[in-house]
């Protein structure tokens, strides 16, 4: 068996924590959790999604997502809309307020990404992204 520090899953968790150190101060400043920001970011990129689609794209389990959606809706950031094609489906989208917050916060997030890339280097960042994509594609 591998030594614990050589475990791929542990290395991925540690690298995630290291990367998040660039973004957490911004999220703390805005009052969003990492998961809340992920939901806002995904909805900003996708306009409308049902809860199942949102959970998959955000990598958040449904019970946790339900709480996050409820909180964001209570804060006026998410709107629920019945699907025109299937009334059983509720679609989620960002409110104008959330869209504006996204526009205001995104430049700070972009600067944090730039700092991360500057420390790692463009070539290593591309290699890392490529390798992680390969690992993701391994899932059954």
Closest CA to 89 of 120, 48, 128: 48
What DSSP element (H or E) covers 33? Answer: none
- pLDDT of 85 reads 80
Helix 51-58 and helix 62-74: axis angle, to 10°?
A: 110
- pLDDT of 14 reads 94
Domain that holds residue 21: 4-137
Burial class, 84, CB count within 10 angstroms (exposed 0-12 / middle 13-18 / buried 19+): exposed
What DSSP element (H or E) covers 91? Answer: strand 90-94
Residues with Cβ within 8 Å of residue 93, at least 6 apart in sequence: 43, 47, 48, 49, 78, 79, 81
- pLDDT of 46 reads 94
Give me the number of domains the chain comprises.
1
Residue 83 DSSP one-character state: -
- pLDDT of 84 reads 81
pLDDT, tens digit, for every residue of 11-50?
A: 999 999 999 999 999 999 999 999 999 999 999 999 899 9
CATH number at residue 99: 1.10.10.10
pTM for the complete prediction? 0.88
Residue 23 DSSP one-character state: T
The 3-state DSSP class for residue 80 equals strand
């Amino acid at each position: 068996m591998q030594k614990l520090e050589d475990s791929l899953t542990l290395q991925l968790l540690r690298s995630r924590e290291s990367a998040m150190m660039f973004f957490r101060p911004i999220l703390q400043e805005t009052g969003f959790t990492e998961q809340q920001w992920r939901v806002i970011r995904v909805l900003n990129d996708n306009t409308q999604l049902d809860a199942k689609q949102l959970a998959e794209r955000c990598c958040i389990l449904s019970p946790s997502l339900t709480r996050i959606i409820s909180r964001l809706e209570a804060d006026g950031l998410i709107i629920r809309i019945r699907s025109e094609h299937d009334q059983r489906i509720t679609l989620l989208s960002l409110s104008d307020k959330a869209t504006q917050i996204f526009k205001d916060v995104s430049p700070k997030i972009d600067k944090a990404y730039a700092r991360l890339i500057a420390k790692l280097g463009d070539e290593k960042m591309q290699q890392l992204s490529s390798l992680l994509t390969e690992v993701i594609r391994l899932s059954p």
